[in-house]
């Protein structure tokens, strides 16, 4: 039995995180320092502020992760870090910290794709079975990714404009909930009804792509028109109507793609995987329409950005000795 230990670092956006992962599936520690409070008054992530917080936090968070795991640097087998996609200044803090540790302790350096990390968050609670299809929904991404094996990634569908989480956060601003709006809209949606019947963009189209900017505009126009006319609106119904439109399209296209690709497993991943409406609808649809297909959804603690998922994804690369050298850089636009 191997016993490989990876120190993983994640700084792609507004969470500074470090984790120690054993054999790609066991969390020894996973420290996540959120910066949300610092960005909230600006209504979104301010890249410059994000970088500064990462610089202040990174050493402390790494030390905390090592201490909690009760692991010494000499016991580590590799250092893994998010290479991209993300904010370049934020990524660079993690990449440079990882390089320094790899150099100082003579450890292999593993560059991990953040999207792959979100998928591998599921490996920390279950076993991945291939072929699988993964719906990755976050603040920056909405992608359907087919995997025939642990190191094979094919994008079969993606958003043509806004990411699902981005649409949540933008309409959250319009109805005055704090950033990031997704969680708040989700809670309001459960107190309201789908009365506005917003458009389900591209649901009829014969592809696995998504579009959320039309829905966002439709939502904003509805709210502005009502405000101009002085009409009262029920915020919970607005939230429920928006959520129903997002969830309908995500579930419909994901189920269709999973059927067509004949997968064994369906995976939900990314920050929006925390959405209660999406989790419930997808569970129901898989039960009804995909008998025999196993659905994996990470626990809430592993849906948002965290370093544990980076350590889980890195294990596949460790086994193949897929290492980076010290020219490693942050790649803001990195694809899977
Ligand atoms: O994966 P993540 O932490 O960061 C990125 O890689 O983007 O995802 C953050 C996104 C935000 O847009 C946030 O509003 C959304 O996930 N989110 C949710 C919920 N919780 C977080 N969206 C809908 N419902 C939720 N419960
Ligand atoms: Zn993410």
> What does the pLDDT read at residue 221?
96
**Can you give the length of the chain in residues?**
336
88 C-alpha to ligand 1 centroid (Å): 20
138 is in an annotated binding site: yes
pLDDT band per the 50, 70, 90 thresholds, residue 1? low
Ligand 1 contacts (CB < 6 A) are 13, 138-140, 165, 168-169, 180-183, 186, 270-272, 274-275, 304-305
Q: Which residues contact 159 (CB under 8 A, 6 or more apart)?
A: 141, 142, 143, 209, 210, 211, 212
> What does the pLDDT read at residue 43?
87
Instruction: Express each pLDDT in 251-267 by its tens digit.
Output: 999 999 999 999 999 99
91 and 83 Cβ atoms separated by less than 8 Å: yes
Instruction: Express each pLDDT in 268-310 by its tens digit.
Output: 999 999 999 999 999 999 999 999 999 999 999 999 999 999 9
169 is in an annotated binding site: yes
Residue nearest to atom 8 of ligand 1 (CA): 271
**Atom number, ligand 1, closest to the C-alpha of residue 304:** 3
Lowest mean pLDDT among 56-60, 99-103, 105-109, 201-205: 201-205
Average pLDDT, the chain: 97
User: What domains can you pick out in the chain, each with its CATH number?
Assistant: 5-119+303-319 (3.30.420.40), 127-297 (3.30.420.40)
> What does the pLDDT read at residue 203?
92
Q: Is 2 a residue whose pLDDT tops 80?
A: no
> What does the pLDDT read at residue 199?
95
- pTM value is 0.96
Q: What burial class does residue 227 get, using C-beta atoms within 10 Å of its C-beta: 0-12 exposed, 13-18 middle, 19+ buried?
A: exposed
Lowest mean pLDDT among 40-44, 148-152, 270-274, 322-326: 40-44
Q: Is 145 a residue whose pLDDT tops 80?
A: yes
Nearest residue to 14 via CA among 58, 42, 46? 46
Report, as an integer, the average pLDDT of 100-121: 98
Residue % of the chain over a pLDDT of 70: 100
Q: Is 41 a residue whose pLDDT tops 90?
A: no
- Cα–Cα distance list, 129 to 80, 148, 296 (Å): 24, 9, 10
Full strand arrangement of the beta sheet holding 109-113: 26-34, 15-22, 5-10, 78-84, 109-113
161 is in an annotated binding site: no
Residue % of the chain over a pLDDT of 90: 96
């Amino acid at each position: 039995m191997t016993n490989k230990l990876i120190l993983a670092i994640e700084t792609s956006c507004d969470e500074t995180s470090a984790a120690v992962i054993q054999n790609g599936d066991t969390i020894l520690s996973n420290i996540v320092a959120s910066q949300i409070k610092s960005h909230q008054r600006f209504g979104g992530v301010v890249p410059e502020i994000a970088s500064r917080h990462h610089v202040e936090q990174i050493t402390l968070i790494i030390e905390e992760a090592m201490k909690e795991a009760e692991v010494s640097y000499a016991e580590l087998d590799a250092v893994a870090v998010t290479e991209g996609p993300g904010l370049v200044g934020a990524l660079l803090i993690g990449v440079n910290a990882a390089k320094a540790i790899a150099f100082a302790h003579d450890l292999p350096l593993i560059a991990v794709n953040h999207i792959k990390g979100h998928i591998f968050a599921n490996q920390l609670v279950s076993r991945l079975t291939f072929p699988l299809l993964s719906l990755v929904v976050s603040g920056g991404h909405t992608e359907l990714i087919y995997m025939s094996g642990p190191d094979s990634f094919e994008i079969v569908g993606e958003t043509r404009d806004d990411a699902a989480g981005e649409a949540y956060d933008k309409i959250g601003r319009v109805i005055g909930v704090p950033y990031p709006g997704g969680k708040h809209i989700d809670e309001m949606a459960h107190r309201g009804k789908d009365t506005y019947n917003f458009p389900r963009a591209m649901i009829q189209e014969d592809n696995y792509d998504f579009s959320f900017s039309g829905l966002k505009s439709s939502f904003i126009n509805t709210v502005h028109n009502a405000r101009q006319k002085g009409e009262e609106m029920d915020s919970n119904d607005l939230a429920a109507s928006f959520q129903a439109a997002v969830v309908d399209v995500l579930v419909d296209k994901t189920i269709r793609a999973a059927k067509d690709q004949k997968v064994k497993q369906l995976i939900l991943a990314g920050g929006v995987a925390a959405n209660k409406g999406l989790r419930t609808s997808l569970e129901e649809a898989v039960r009804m329409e995909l008998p025999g297909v196993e659905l994996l959804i990470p626990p809430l603690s592993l849906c948002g950005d965290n370093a544990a998922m980076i350590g889980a994804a890195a294990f596949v690369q460790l086994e193949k000795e897929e290492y980076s050298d010290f020219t490693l850089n942050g790649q803001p636009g990195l694809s899977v």
